[in-house]
Amino acid sequence: MSIFKRTVSPDSISRALTVLLLALIAIVVIFAIFLFTEETPIGNRVSYGWFVEYLFEVFSAFGTVGLSMGVTSSLHNFGKVLIILLMFAGRVGLLTLAFAMARPKSKGEIVYREEEVLVG
């Protein structure tokens, strides 16, 4: 594929799509956990929307932008841990975390690069 007079390798495209898919899955899963585990506030925040506040917190944590709507302090400890993990995943990168958690390759025979030597 070529974009702006440059060729993009299929490997780069597949890595970008993998990162996008992993990010969306992480955001949706953490947000769903928030919806089921955190208490829905009653009172003046009903008109503002706790749904939007939690969604903003999740996206802000993943993007590590440092913005908040003030919900973080009212989260339970489990919710705070989820926010911390999401911040870490957003900062380090999901593909890096996936490679780090993947099973290491079995140690095998060491193969050195072949070199042509001038003789004579």
Q: Is residue 67 part of a domain?
A: yes
pLDDT for the residue 28: 93
Q: How does pLDDT run across 66-120, given as a tens digit for each residue? A: 888 888 888 888 888 988 988 888 888 877 777 777 766 667 777 788 887 767 6
- Which domain, by its residues, includes 55? 2-101
Q: Is residue 110 part of a domain?
A: no
Helix (H) or strand (E) holding 78: helix 77-92
Q: How many domains does the chain have?
A: 1
pTM recorded for the entire structure: 0.69
Q: How does pLDDT run across 18-30, given as a tens digit for each residue? A: 888 888 998 999 9
Instruction: Pinpoint the alpha helices (H) of 46-76.
Output: 50-63
Token pair for residue 65?
């932008």
pLDDT for the residue 29: 92
Question: Using CA atoms, how far apart are residues 85 and 76, in angstroms rounded to an integer?
Answer: 14
